[in-house]
Structure 1
């Protein structure tokens, strides 16, 4: 009679390996490491804000914004995009561009308004969270026209973090006098930027920028080098210019979005699109 026990002379048992412990290609790891570096920069900005090192905190948020701008490009270049990376990026963005700028402004001046100042910080942080959640939902929309990839719906969180700190840049650059009335204006400005983030106002997106034309390569390289030199030499003044330029571009992005939307609607209806701006 044969025994039901397995024979000790049988083949060796396969080593059990829990799911998820298999090796991951390096192309999936590198973009997530960049995202974690951006998160570290955002958390470091909070530390600098607590220590009243406001200029260092601004630079840390700027570093986080730069890293956030390249982690997605690295993932696409390496074909290492993943759902895990997208979720990690959203969580890091909330800390970097929702929590850190708000706390920086509160520790700098909004604490003088007590509850009102804290309410402005909360509104900004909530707006950043809602903006990121909406982005995650809309990115999976299969019916979105290709031309809409040239725009963001609402001010993106990294841009909101840079723009909302404009009052701080002005104070640190020009040593403006402090007053309760001015602080109230700053709190109102924070709420306005929060409103732009959760609004449906279109903003130009830089994610569609592809290859640089060969004939423009030298010019682009020179422009990038000049911007980096100016940013390193006059960081706050450059951030003032960038913030004002970004705000000034909003009407142009709205106009371009409406024109493309009308052309798309006309094409879908089978009619000729409206003439371009300036056409007879």
Structure 2
């Protein structure tokens, strides 16, 4: 299996000096001797000029000679190489990819909208240049495929018990880790290093968003009511116990039931309680 091979090219400044000397020699020779043989130096000059290239920071040049991979120049600077080399530029900079929002079904079949934010860079220039047709397009397509697979592996949410199962909404750290692993495996063939992958947008599809919002609100209301009732029961119990211990009032079963009923109504009601003055006895 062929892997990336980093090579060092010749200094471009040395060959530039040689080029200038040849140009000067050609011009002087033609002018002073009128010898047409000096014209033969022109193709040599042109070939030398083709060999110059520049490698910018965080960039590289893949050198190919008649279909044979000869190496990759990653060092920054001004260089010269065999004029017959084909020089393929590949950027080594980190890149951001914000995928389009795609509609997919989650694990339980609910349509959702999801996209991913990916930070990647080329790690192996040979694989990026020769193992795939277009490595940028390869990143886009494989990331989209990984997102679709991930969305189908987890439910969007679990209303019955949020701790019972990992979901896209509640288990974001675990889901992002699984997403990064999946994308890393897919992009390895192209020599791509995944620096970060995470879900950037997550929501129900418009056709069910309204119904799911109502369901979420209902679950929240039920949970809130449950907490209110639990708190009210504790407060009523404390009140009855305190009244009995301080001998403020003696409760029979009817009085206790009436007191509990009134306190629960006051504590659990949505509206403020309206007091009613009892002009008779407690049982009147």
Q: TM-score, normalised by structure 1?
A: 0.22
Higher relative contact order (CA 8 A, sep 6+): 1
Q: Which has the larger helix fraction?
A: 1
Q: TM-score, normalised by structure 2?
A: 0.22
